[in-house]
Amino acid sequence: MKNLMAGNWKMHKTIAEGVAFVNELKAQLQDRPERGVLLCVPSTMLHAVATAAKGSAIMVGSEDMYFEEKGAFTGEISPSMVKDTGATATLVGHSERRVIFGETDLVVNKKIKAALTHGLLPVLCIGESLEEREAGKLEAVLSTQIKGGLEGISAADASKIVIAYEPVWAIGTGKTASPQDADDAHAMARKLVANLYGQELADKMMILYGGSVKADNVDELMAMKNINGALVGGAALEVESFTRISNFTCSGKCSCSK
Ligand code: 13P
């Protein structure tokens, strides 16, 4: 898999709607094994959606999970519970988890470790707020989130992680980072990964862009060297737009074989 187009349904859809989406997407997706497709869905429908996706190229993941195995954690779901549904991945540290639910880099780190222990693909979400960007703190924020999120994780495990760069100011606002700004931030994140694990691992790491990705801007984003996929919110709720995004056309400007 050379790139990954991921959808994040957030707090949307019924079970029936989720299953219908997957059935439709299965019929529309191009058969290209180098392109991964992942749907991160509410825990209520994880099992139904994972069952519907079984045998297809579509991976299913949770939008979050707790790091503990079991116990008195009312309202939470464990990594084993996520696996039990048939899901194979999870988002970790989405900015909505960080901002609304106060999730820290330490918690994010524990969740990544728990996902890896259970063989789930963790998608580590990072990104700066507008205030931080305007104060020139982009690199400092990415560095704190990457170092904090990956603390104590071996290179072997780090090679099983996907990073999603989602500038908070671009999420749900219709304001996409320009392809060049996004690519610059991805290059920065890649350099920070290289500082921790070396250039070879960093070059192989998939870094997705998220924040108002739509059918009409995906191609120009995917043409950038450091962008290996997308994490899509609003435009992943409609099967037509998510299909178009997943079947993006690479301009061939880069040498990425996307
Ligand atoms: P939008 O695509 O709606 O901006 O959401 C992005 C996002 O938060 C995906 O995780």
Quick one: pLDDT at residue 33? 86
CA of 70 to the centre of ligand 1 (A): 30
Quick one: pLDDT at residue 254? 52
Residue 3 phi, psi dihedral angles, 5° rounding: -150, 170
Closest atom of ligand 1 to CA, residue 95: 8
Closest atom of ligand 1 to CA, residue 236: 2
Distance, CA of 233 to CA of 249 (rounded, Å): 20
Length of the chain equals 258
- 94 classed as catalytic: yes
Per residue in 73-96, pLDDT (tens digit) is 999 999 999 999 999 999 999 999
Burial class (CB in 10 A: 0-12, 13-18, 19+), 166: buried
Quick one: pLDDT at residue 53? 98
Per residue in 52-68, pLDDT (tens digit) is 999 999 999 999 999 99
Q: What is the CATH number of the domain that holds 35?
A: 3.20.20.70
**Does residue 234 line the site of ligand 1, with CB under 6 A?**
yes
Distance, CA of 133 to CA of 182 (rounded, Å): 12
* Termini Cα distance of the chain: 10
Distance, CA of 105 to CA of 127 (rounded, Å): 12
Kindly compute the dihedral angle of the four CA atoms of residues 204, 1, 233, 216, in this order, to the nearest 10 degrees. 100
CA of 71 to the centre of ligand 1 (A): 32
Quick one: pLDDT at residue 257? 60
CA dist list (Å): 235 to 60, 118, 155, 221, 250: 17, 30, 34, 15, 19
**Residue range 228-246: average pLDDT?**
97
Chain centre to alpha carbon of residue 18: 18
**Does residue 7 line the site of ligand 1, with CB under 6 A?**
no
Q: What residue owns the CA closest to ligand 1's atom 5?
A: 233
Per residue in 107-162, pLDDT (tens digit) is 999 999 999 999 999 999 999 999 999 999 999 999 999 999 999 999 999 999 99
How many domains in the chain? Answer: 1
Task: List the domain range (segments joined by +) for residue 80.
Answer: 3-257
**Residue range 170-180: average pLDDT?**
90
Distance, CA of 83 to CA of 258 (rounded, Å): 29
- 166 classed as catalytic: yes
User: How many CA atoms lie within 13 Å of 177's alpha carbon, on the beta-carbon side?
Assistant: 28
Buried (b) or exposed (e) across 105-138, using 16+ Cβ within 10 A?
bebbbbbbbbbbebebbbbbbbbbbeebbeeeeb
CA of 11 to the centre of ligand 1 (A): 12
Percent of the chain at pLDDT exceeding 90: 91
**Does residue 211 line the site of ligand 1, with CB under 6 A?**
yes
Per residue in 210-226, pLDDT (tens digit) is 999 999 999 999 999 99
- Report the relative pairing of strands 121-126 and 229-232 from DSSP bridges: unpaired
**Does residue 171 line the site of ligand 1, with CB under 6 A?**
yes
